């Protein structure tokens, strides 16, 4: 069975600080996909990134970066120089390529990120 754990329920930092959101996953598949989504107060889930299990290269997109480590089953997300607009709930999600859950995403419980001005 697949599982995603986001141990940090809530993080509060002051604007311009760097912050890392942790994500640990469990799966028995060798092929799988990892995602991060942002859910701002307005409620709509916004796709941020997708990673497949064969691509362990870290990725940077502007102030966002992702660190994927298969050895520790982690897919952490870092925001550099945080801004108030980054305040949201962030979800990590997993999709197995061959598992019984087929195509549905398994989400973690989310991390509520609060950026204080």
Partner 1 sequence: DTGVSQNPRHKITKRGQNVTFRCDPISEHNRLYWYRQTLGQGPEFLTYFQNEAQLEKSRLLSDRFSAERPKGSFSTLEIQRTEQGDSAMYLCASSLQGRQPQHFGDGTRLSIL
Residue placing its CB nearer to partner 1 in the complex, 15 or 29: 29
Least spacing, CB of residue 89 vs partner 1, in Å: 9
Least spacing, CB of residue 87 vs partner 1, in Å: 17
Least spacing, CB of residue 56 vs partner 1, in Å: 17
The binding site for partner 1 (CB under 8 A) comprises 4, 33, 35, 37, 42-47, 50, 52, 91, 93, 95, 97, 101-110
Indicate the burial class of 68 (C-beta count within 10 angstroms; 0-12, 13-18, 19 or more). buried
CA–CA gap between residue 62 and residue 52 (Å, rounded)? 21
Residue placing its CB nearer to partner 1 in the complex, 27 or 106: 106
CA–CA gap between residue 56 and residue 52 (Å, rounded)? 8
CA–CA gap between residue 106 and residue 65 (Å, rounded)? 22
Residue placing its CB nearer to partner 1 in the complex, 14 or 46: 46
CA–CA gap between residue 2 and residue 105 (Å, rounded)? 10
């Amino acid at each position: 069975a697949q599982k995603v754990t986001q141990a940090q329920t809530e993080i509060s930092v002051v604007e311009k600080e760097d912050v890392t959101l942790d994500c640990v996953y469990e799966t028995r598949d060798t092929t799988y996909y990892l995602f991060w989504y942002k859910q701002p107060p307005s409620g709509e889930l916004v796709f941020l990134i997708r990673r497949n299990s064969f691509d362990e290269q870290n990725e940077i997109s502007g102030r966002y970066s992702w660190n994927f480590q298969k050895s520790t089953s982690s897919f952490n997300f870092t925001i550099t120089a945080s801004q108030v607009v980054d305040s949201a709930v962030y979800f990590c999600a997993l999709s197995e390529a061959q598992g019984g859950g087929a195509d549905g995403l398994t989400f973690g419980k989310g991390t509520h990120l609060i950026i204080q001005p």
